[in-house]
Amino acid sequence: MHMLDMPAALASGSNPHGPAAQAALAAMESARAVAAKALVEAAGMELFGTFLLGEEEFALPASAIREVVAYPERVTPMPLSPCYLEGIFTLRGTAIPVVNLARIFHPDAPKAGAGQKIAILDHDDVLVGLVFDGTGEVLRVRPEQRSTVSYGDGHAAPVIGGTILLADGARLLQVLVPEALIRIENVPQVRSMSAASRAAERTRFLRHAEAKKCLCFTAGSTSFAFAMSAVQEIINVPALRTSVMMGPLCKGWINFRGRAVGVIDFGALMRCAPEEAADPADRRILIARIGDELLGFLVDGVDTINPYFDSDVLPIPLLGTQRGAMFRGCLPRTNGPDTLFLDHEKVLADAELKEVCAGHRRIYQDEAAAEAGRCASNAAAARRQVYLAFGLGSPWASDICQVREIIPYTGALTRTPGTPACVQGMLNLRQQMISVIDLRKLYDMPPLEDKSECRILVLERGAERYGVIVDSVQSIVNLPASARRPSPKLLRVGATEADMRSDVKEVLELPDATVLSLFDRDAFFAKLESVLSA
């Protein structure tokens, strides 16, 4: 699901279907795709496709998704295969194993079947089909919305590698790991081994690399397609805002990332009679970029993402057809109705486009921007952070992200001659030597007689790791941003330069009015460096 913010390439010259023209178009689109991808990466955002499996949502990196197809009519079962391997099916001359993800998580889940979707995972030259109940959205995800899951040594490669939190934490997506999915036990890897097969696969790969992609969707009982380069995002249908331009075509507007975007009923635009059996939950809004404007198309459902070549688009007669310029042609399909391929820039006339796009932006943009600002402020205030509460003479806490791990305290440490008294010794932690620092000695605190509850917190800075000894580890607390406050001056009254309280810049206030001093990792490292260099 490669969503690139660039206009579709337009053929030019006397022979738009000639080899030279097609090669030039392919090179141009490839260069624009690289540039668009670089812009996304420069912004620190990642592109994900989301899928539904029962009540849960999953996400895959868009770069690993080759395409999404309907569940085939025929899947050939494989003898002696595990329950989660439904079999194999042929897709354009390639046999692809079909993995039922529901049975990986729950072995007693029902078999896959008609009505479900298969996402073709393409990673490390291996193709695997993953069964889902339906497609979701295409999302650009900021780094702060992602988290990773760590597993101990000896664990197999995890299928779930992290999460994506949306809607201020109310919506959670589980991120699937492509590297693990292509190495699931007893699932055959589709890879050409012989020299002849490798040459054939190379030819197919080059042809596939030259191909473009289109997004197929439905309105009524008709299948349509846009070039993927036209689609900014695919989203679920939110509550539409009332617009002064509402009518048979315009259904209102939405606030799309702080931008007022008008929404057009695509079925009404194309005069497609709605299907009685259509499920409203399948409806989606395609956010399309038309020139410098954004426009939302309300469609009945998103079907598949298919590769195509310009030569695959068959011309169709358009005698007497209104808005005939919008039709690029017809894409024949072997597993469903033929698809009408549209030119997204010509779906609306210039005057209509200006009225719907620029009109909504002119009338409602201030409201959308102000609301986006309020939402950002509310999200920041409601954002919660996880802290590790520990004891060191008094109650303390540390941002959980600063603590790599917690290990039991042991007195069997290797003491290095000539080191300051605060360096308790060296500890071999999984083939890496770390220095263990006694915080009580570093900050001139009296020694602790009973060390049975002591723990070592492993802190990390770059490639270096240090262990710090604390009196005890008490709990993990989840607090809103409002619980974090500047350290009161009273807390530092009487504190000397060596006193640990002198480094406290912030405190945490718990619901029961308990106040925890917030451990400052940077201040600790600065203090340690001054002692070690003395």
Q: 257: pLDDT confidence band, cut at 50, 70 and 90?
A: confident
Q: How far is CA 340 from CA 165, 283, 310, in A?
A: 37, 19, 14
Task: Give the end-to-end CA distance of the chain in Å, rounded to a whole number.
Answer: 57
What's the pLDDT tens digit per position in 435-445? Answer: 999 999 988 88
Mean pLDDT of 323-336: 77
What pLDDT score does 195 carry? Answer: 46
Specify the higher pLDDT residue, 64 or 316: 64
Q: 111: pLDDT confidence band, cut at 50, 70 and 90?
A: very high
Residue 241's CB is within 10 A of a number of other CB atoms, namely 18
Phi, psi of 276 (to 5 degrees): -65, -30
Residue 260 in this model has a pLDDT that exceeds 60: yes
Alpha helices in 243-356 (DSSP H): 266-270, 350-353
Specify the higher pLDDT residue, 443 or 336: 443
Residue 205 in this model has a pLDDT that exceeds 90: no
| Beta strands at 250-256 and 259-265: parallel, antiparallel or unpaired | antiparallel
Measured CA angle at 493 (ends 491, 495), to 5 deg: 95
Q: How far is CA 232 from CA 152, 215, 217, 227, 342, in A?
A: 39, 11, 15, 11, 16
Q: 10: pLDDT confidence band, cut at 50, 70 and 90?
A: very low
What pLDDT score does 261 carry? Answer: 93
What pLDDT score does 265 carry? Answer: 93
CATH 2.40.50.180 residue ranges for the chain: 44-210, 212-381, 384-532
Phi, psi of 279 (to 5 degrees): -95, 120
Per CATH, is 44-210 categorized as 3.40.50.300? no
What pLDDT score does 31 carry? Answer: 62
What pLDDT score does 85 carry? Answer: 86
Could you tell me which of 177, 186, 190, 64 has the C-alpha nearest to residue 126? 190
Mean pLDDT of 239-255: 91
Specify the higher pLDDT residue, 207 or 11: 207
What's the pLDDT tens digit per position in 182-192? Answer: 877 655 554 43
- H/E run at residue 371: helix 359-382
What pLDDT score does 25 carry? Answer: 61
What pLDDT score does 12 carry? Answer: 38
User: Which DSSP letter does residue 93 get?
Assistant: T
Mean pLDDT of 200-212: 60
Residue 533 in this model has a pLDDT that exceeds 90: no
Could you tell me which of 448, 447, 443, 445 has the C-alpha nearest to residue 500? 443
Least confident of 8-22, 79-93, 499-513: 8-22
What pLDDT score does 290 carry? Answer: 85
Q: Residue 345 carries which side chain, given as an amino acid letter?
A: E
What pLDDT score does 325 carry? Answer: 79
Residue 469 in this model has a pLDDT that exceeds 90: yes
Alpha helices in 265-358 (DSSP H): 266-270, 350-353
Residues 281 and 236: beta-carbon distance below 8 Å: no
Residues 392 and 456: beta-carbon distance below 8 Å: no
Average pLDDT, the chain: 80
The Cα 364–Cα 101 span in angstroms is: 43
What pLDDT score does 50 carry? Answer: 93
Mean pLDDT of 207-228: 81
The Cα 96–Cα 283 span in angstroms is: 29
What's the pLDDT tens digit per position in 352-406? Answer: 777 788 888 888 999 988 888 887 766 666 677 889 999 998 899 998 888 888 9
| Beta strands at 327-331 and 301-308: parallel, antiparallel or unpaired | unpaired
List the CATH code of the domain at 384-532.
2.40.50.180
pTM of the model: 0.47
**Strand, coil or helix: 514:** coil
Residues 442 and 527: beta-carbon distance below 8 Å: yes
Which CATH class name applies to 212-381? Answer: mainly beta
Residue 14 in this model has a pLDDT that exceeds 60: no
Q: How far is CA 95 from CA 87, 98, 127, 198, 489, in A?
A: 10, 10, 9, 15, 70
What pLDDT score does 148 carry? Answer: 81
User: Which DSSP letter does residue 279 get?
Assistant: -
What's the pLDDT tens digit per position in 266-312? Answer: 998 888 877 776 788 889 999 998 888 899 999 999 888 888 888 88
Calculate the CA 321 to chain-centre distance.
41
Q: Dihedral of CA 228/231/232/235: which sign?
A: negative
Specify the higher pLDDT residue, 491 or 230: 230
